[in-house]
Amino acid sequence: MIKKYALFFLCLLNIYVSFSQKTNTLGLSKFSQISIITSGPGEALYEKFGHTAIRVKDPVLQLDLIYNYGIFDFDDPNFYLNFTKGFMKYKLARYPFYLSLKSSQEDERWVKEQILNLTQQQKNEFFQFLETNAEPENASYFYDPFFDNCATRPRDIVQKVAGDNLIFKDDFVSESLSLRQLMNKEINPNTWGSLGINIALGSRLDKTATPIEYLYLPDYVFEACKASKIIKDGKEENLVQKTNVLLDFEEKQSKSDAFSPFLAILLSSLLGLCITYKDIKNSKRTIWLDFSLLFITGTLGLLIVFLWFFTNHSTAPNNFNFLWAFAPNILVAFFLLKKNPPKWIHFYIKILLVFLALTPIVWLTKIQLYTYPMIPLFALLGMRYWYLQKTLKC
């Protein structure tokens, strides 16, 4: 959905600033076109969703620009800190369209153009809005991957410019899905990136998405534009005047990682289950296994608490992953290093068992969906906690 461009490449923007300022007073010609540009998915995690941008073309003014709301800079000294805290600063960049097309060509990503069926006044309003947004003092915004991104911004501008003349059609919605389900269609669940996102984000993602909320994904922006209508001269017409295929590559499919999370968790869980079976048979307790399980789940629990209460991520709160990734585990893990832990540990483990038993209920009722690579871990935790509460009985 987003693309990082080299800094020297962005320097070319300065060439267009002074030129565009001149066109601000002139306005676009009647031969101008404003298009929604949709690109297919790329290889990097942040490219898996595809990308949406806006093209402004005017042969009279010799303009052919792309307006891209998906620019960010990994090299910003505060990028990772701000990203973790939920203050992800992105910007609108304006640059020659051919550079964008060249980048997609190199990455072998398909590109489609939808020329919007706008009046001359609407074209100029659209252009002026983009030009104002592209000014350095206006270009930056706080990115939200589900509610304010490179796809939602063009959607909102079309709505703003067309106003009551836009007839939004939701025919493209063929099934009722949540934001998480839509996300998991784009990123293979058996990847480390998907696993991390699904653990970090809470139940807000699991409410059924409205048709307008589907448009956080570029593919659905394309389909919504294709289905929608606009009123021109009192008549209902298609919002998209013409669709052009600019690059026709085969769409990249999201594949599982070679060393996938399911494989890693399955092997680790089988090892843990084998150790637990031997512990039951020999009436002993493998201390390092108990410490590892509680320390790891506690660490993940701390991350969930941090994202939930101490960041600005809109979808981090109300995260039911705390039922198995319980933050106090990180402290309790050290008590389990003792051969004879305190007696209250027995009751604590019982609480963990109750929480774990609630996990499938939360999953089946779709309060929050978990990701399937976690199933082997849930089985291990259930077996180990059951054995611990028996072994550590008062």
Across 99-117, average pLDDT: 96
How many contiguous H segments (helices) and E segments (strands) does the chain have?
A: 14, 10
- Residue that terminates a domain, selected from 224, 247, 270: 247
The position carrying tokens 């869980």 is 269
Cα–Cα distance between 328 and 225 in angstroms, integer?
A: 49
Same domain? 90 vs 237: yes
| Structural domain total, the chain | 2
Residue 2 belongs to some domain of the structure: no
Same domain? 87 vs 216: yes
**C-alpha separations of 314 from 78, 205, 296, 368 in Å:** 20, 10, 25, 16
| Distance between start and end Cα atoms, the chain | 55
Residue 375 belongs to some domain of the structure: yes
Residue 181 belongs to some domain of the structure: no
Same domain? 323 vs 222: no
Same domain? 226 vs 313: no
- Report whether pLDDT(79) > 60: yes
Residue 243 belongs to some domain of the structure: yes
The position carrying tokens 């930056």 is 140
Computed on alpha carbons and rounded to an integer, the radius of gyration of the chain in Å comes to 26
Cα dihedral 177, 182, 188, 191 sign: negative
pLDDT band for 383, please (50, 70, 90 cuts): very high
Residue 195 belongs to some domain of the structure: no
Same domain? 12 vs 139: yes
331: CB partners within 8 A, 6+ apart: 298
Residue 221 belongs to some domain of the structure: yes
**C-alpha separations of 67 from 51, 108, 154, 155 in Å:** 12, 21, 9, 13
Cβ pair 54, 37 in contact under 8 A: yes
Mean pLDDT computed over every residue of the chain = 91
Cα–Cα distance between 107 and 125 in angstroms, integer?
A: 33
- What's CA 2's distance to the chain center, in Å? 11
Question: Which strand ranges, in their side-by-side order, compose the sheet holding 88-96?
Answer: 140-143, 88-96, 63-71, 51-58, 33-39, 111-116, 240-247
Segment 39-69, tens digit of pLDDT = 999 998 889 999 999 999 999 999 999 999 9
Does an H or E element contain 114, and which? strand 111-116
Domain membership of residue 290 as a residue range: 261-391
- Nearest Cα to Cα of residue 275 among 296, 293, 261: 293
Phi and psi dihedrals of 379, rounded to 5?
-65, -45
Cα–Cα distance between 37 and 30 in angstroms, integer?
A: 21
Same domain? 107 vs 79: yes
Across 181-209, average pLDDT: 95
Same domain? 225 vs 105: yes
**HSE, side-chain direction, 13 A CA sphere, residue 213:** 18
Segment 129-157, tens digit of pLDDT = 999 999 999 999 989 999 999 999 999 99
Residue 111 belongs to some domain of the structure: yes
Across 279-295, average pLDDT: 96
Same domain? 293 vs 382: yes
Cβ pair 308, 317 in contact under 8 A: yes
Same domain? 242 vs 346: no
Same domain? 231 vs 297: no
Looking at the DSSP assignment, which residues form a beta bridge with residue 94?
67
Residue 338 belongs to some domain of the structure: yes
Same domain? 32 vs 166: yes
Q: What percent of the chain has pLDDT over 70?
A: 90
Across 84-103, average pLDDT: 89
Q: What is the pLDDT of residue 1?
A: 47
Same domain? 134 vs 278: no
